[in-house]
Amino acid sequence: MKCVIPFKNKGSIIGVSLTHPHSQIYALPFIPPRIMKEIESAQRYRDEYDGNLFEDILRNELEEGTRIIYGNKSFMLFLPFFVMWPYEVHVYPRRSIKSLNQLDQEDALMLADVIRVAVAVYEEMFGEDCAYMMVFHQSPVGEYDDYRLHIEFYTPYISRDRIKYAAGIEWGAWIFTYDGVPEERVKELKQATWKIMKNLDHLGEAFT
């Protein structure tokens, strides 16, 4: 086994055949191309800038403040400037965590909290039956010192009534054309976050 990928698919439009809520875990005998690309990018960043790519992404997002949606003691939810899908959001740890097995009890609780908020935001924006994917990216087996645990949420919605499908340029060239501007999309996510905060138990704070 080289890499463990937990994930959740929800919604028939992304291919879910079982209607009840469920998640899956793939234990792979190889490192998936996406994870390998992240490892290579983190190594190049270390070589060129002598820093950690994931930690610097989060630090820059916190300093700029524009695309941060929600945070608690251990994790931050934000819309990175480099996302592929209009309302794609990521969860990054505040400290150096490479994989799920490094979470302590408080970290696990905080991770559950930020995931709950992310899902509630999607449901507020697109309805309780909205489709999304939640994928855990964690370090493969071995020494990958610059890799960091993070969770990525993808939803195909452009609005409650419109779906963005991956088509020729996306599948054929792996080039995603972003609909809109991240700074505008995140305003909608933040508005939804403030709405759900009124009725959702939470352990962190929403960002304006």
Contacts of 131 (CB under 8 A, 6+ apart): 10, 11, 12, 13, 14, 16, 155, 156, 157
Kindly name the residue from 22, 90, 137, 202 that is annotated as catalytic.
Answer: 22
Instruction: State which H helix or E strand residue 109 sits in.
Output: helix 105-126
Cα 170 to Cα 95: distance, rounded to the nearest angstrom: 33
Tokens (6 digits) for 144: 């990958």
Tokens 């592929």 -> residue: 84
Amino acid occupying residue 47: D
Q: Check if 90 is active-site.
A: no
Burial of 46-80, coded b for 16+ CB within 10 Å and e otherwise, reads: eeeeeebbbbebbeebbeeeebbbbbbebbbbbbb
Catalytic residue positions?
22
